[in-house]
A and B are shown apart, each in its own frame.
Chain A
Amino acid sequence: MLSILLLTLSILLATFVLQINKQLNRHLEKNSKPFDMVIGAKGSPLQLVLSTILHIDNPTGNISLDEASRISKNPMIKEVIPLSFGDNYKGYKILGTSSQYLGKYGATCKEGRLNTKNFEAVFGSEAAKNLNISVGNAFVSSHGLLQNDIDVHDEKPFVVTGILAPTGTVVDHLIITNIESIWGVHEHEHKEHKEEHKEITALLLNFRNPIGALQLSRSINKDTSLQAALPKLEIDRLLKFLGIGFQTINGIALAILLVAGLSIFINLIKTVRERKHELALLRTYGATNFQLLKLVFYEALFLSLIGFILGWLLGRIGVLLFTTLASNAYKYHLEISIPDEKEFFILIIVLFTTILATILASYSLFKLNISKILADA
């Protein structure tokens, strides 16, 4: 029983970590892939990438539109997508951007149409579902990125023109409108000092060739008050930090697997010892040592497979529980997937351990003294 428990635990940990690792990697790559560079206010480059691409951190600040447009004129740049945000609706971020943004994530409308005019907005599938929004509804944004009722821009309501089909990316958790609407919401704040130039949060850039991105990022970071960050680089850095954690958990899983293997072995020896009368009896019936070994092996195999399947199922349930948590906190959705090749590899390790344990236990089986066992009362 203990060996099944240990095996289950180790398989649970290993498959869980593998799945999270794999899906997190895929998620990060999928979301950061459309863009070569982010330009925003000075600060931590990782924070800039997290806030503007993955939408899980606060932005580093705003940048002036004039300065941003100056940089956008660089001939190496293929396309520029401006972002402006700072408001939310019931906790869902309202992102002001150009129409190209949704195209980058392959998002299309499931209902209604995309936003074309000011104060029109489309909802990501998850946001629409959780807020129970449908086309034609109106809503008002509140200031900041967290839900609050105090600072509500209730004089400037938005109209929902469309709901997006699920994309499996961050877009699912966003409310998309155009930049002008974001500015419009905040116009009253600027009334006293109308001269102030317009601001955006960040620019997402794509380059004609990768060398352009490197060159430009160096010059921006050195010569301007702006900051350029390369999403791929930052995501790699992030995964490297996380990797240590994943490796630790995998190490623990491996250690438990070793203990489980040992426990299977002890279990086998115990079986041989407890059932020595039956085994000796079978020998007098004409059974060979090999037949008895097979018997013992099948029992061990049965335990191992139960442990593996149980562990795998619990691992998937763990992913499922984690996803309900992560989906809200990190705009991040995990899938329950079929066994992959790494899990198959774990299964092979488990089977190999079972065979090894059987071979080790066979010694105690072969040296059974049939005559003595059956003669002793």
Chain B
Amino acid sequence: MIRTTSLRFAYQNTKTHTFYFPDIDLSFEQNALILGNSGIGKTTLLHLIAGLLIPKKGNIFIGNTCVQELTRNQLNNFRGKQIGIIFQRTYFIKSLTLLENLKIREKLSKKTTDQQRRIRLIEQLELTEVRNKKVYELSEGQRQRLSIALGIIHKPKVILADEPTSNLDDKNCEKVISLLKKEARICKSNLVIITHDQRVKPHFDKHIIL
């Protein structure tokens, strides 16, 4: 469950321009797409929900937690446990292998590690063969899939995906969307996807247009 109320944000260096965001209200396990033109603040909204940015005004509720009311350490903890982010660009710890990247993500979330889930996830994303390769040895598609795995491995309450399909062909796009939806169901989480990809739209009922 995600709820935002009269959310506003302004970047420090451009005080003149303020983003106004529509109120969002997603019920339990409800998924949503965030659509809008470039520069309208899609990624900003995502980072606000993830607690990476502090809103100028308004509140964000995830489950029963008001993100703004958390202390620094609580926020770190909360982010680690309850938020999974799939970034537009793929980021990893370069010196580690695929498997090690997943393990460190699990470890930092401070949840109990689930080896079965890790193995199954790697299998579903067709990464089993490359699981012991260093991340820089992976292909672009494999990276994108690893990035998705990193976003959902720890069963977060909220999965936030920023253009997860931008580099994928039709077949893989289809696959990724269905996997994300399935994982969201398994984890009982809200899936929020930013996209301008026309292929994604039919898969989701709820569209939030900025």
Contacts and interface: CB of A to CB of B under 8 A. Distances in A.
Given A277-B91, A374-B52, A285 B80 contact: yes
Contacts of B94: 278
A281 B92 CA distance: 7
A286 B53 contact: no
Interface string A348-377: 000000000000000000000011001101
Contact of A282 (B83, B87, B108): B108
A287 B80 contact: yes
B108 A377 contact: no
Given A374-B91, A375-B47, A287 B52 contact: no
Contacts, number: 54
Contacts of B87: 374
Given A278-B94, A281-B91, A371-B47, A288 B52 contact: no
Nearest to A285: B108
A258 to B, nearest CB: 31
A324 interface: no
Interface in B55-103: 73, 76-77, 79-81, 83, 85, 87-89, 91-94
A281 B135 CA distance: 14
How many of chain B's residues touch chain A, expressed as a range?
Answer: 20 to 34
B209 interface: no
Contacts of B89: 374, 377
How many of chain A's residues touch chain B, expressed as a range?
Answer: 10 to 19
**Interface SS majority for chain A:** helix
B110 interface: yes
Nearest to B54: A371
A148 interface: no
B41 to A, nearest CB: 11
B210 interface: no
Given A285-B80, A285-B104, A287-B108, A377 B88 contact: yes
Contacts of A167: none
B105 interface: yes
B190 interface: no
Contacts of B83: 284
Interface in A287-342: 287-288
Contacts of B44: 371, 375
A283 B75 CA distance: 11
A371 B52 contact: yes
Contacts of A375: 43-44, 47, 88
Of A277, A282, A286, chain B has the most CB atoms within 10 Å of the CB of A286
A286 B110 CA distance: 9
A359 B92 CA distance: 26
Contact of B79 (A280, A286, A371): A286
B165 interface: no
A286 B91 contact: no
Contacts of A277: 91
Given A277-B91, A278-B91, A371-B53, A284 B43 contact: no
A317 to B, nearest CB: 33
Interface of B: 43-44, 47, 50, 52-53, 73, 76-77, 79-81, 83, 85, 87-89, 91-94, 104-105, 108-110
14 contacts: A278-B92, A278-B94, A281-B91, A282-B104, A283-B76, A285-B79, A285-B80, A285-B104, A285-B109, A286-B76, A286-B77, A374-B52, A375-B43, A377-B89
